[in-house]
Amino acid sequence: MRHTEFWARMERALGRAYARSWAEQHVMSELGERTATEALEAGVPPRTVWRVVWSELGLPGTER
């Protein structure tokens, strides 16, 4: 997964206006107490970050 696909999925799940805000503010223990944005900037693969986000948001299996 590329960063562009990650952000497209975030926007589909949360809406364009809220996706970036959520990714910059929501800290997740599975990402080492980092936000999605911080994890991506630290080099965590987008697919890994997405799986954690997917779980946190309780999205349907079709979005995995």
pTM of the model: 0.90
List, for residues 4-46, the tens digit of each pLDDT value.
999 999 999 999 989 999 999 999 999 999 999 999 999 999 9
Rounded Cα gap, residues 6 and 46, in angstroms = 6
pLDDT tens digits along 35-54: 999 999 999 999 999 999 99
Has residue 60 got a pLDDT over 90?
no
CA 61-12-44 angle, to 5 degrees, is 75
Beta partners for 34?
Answer: 28
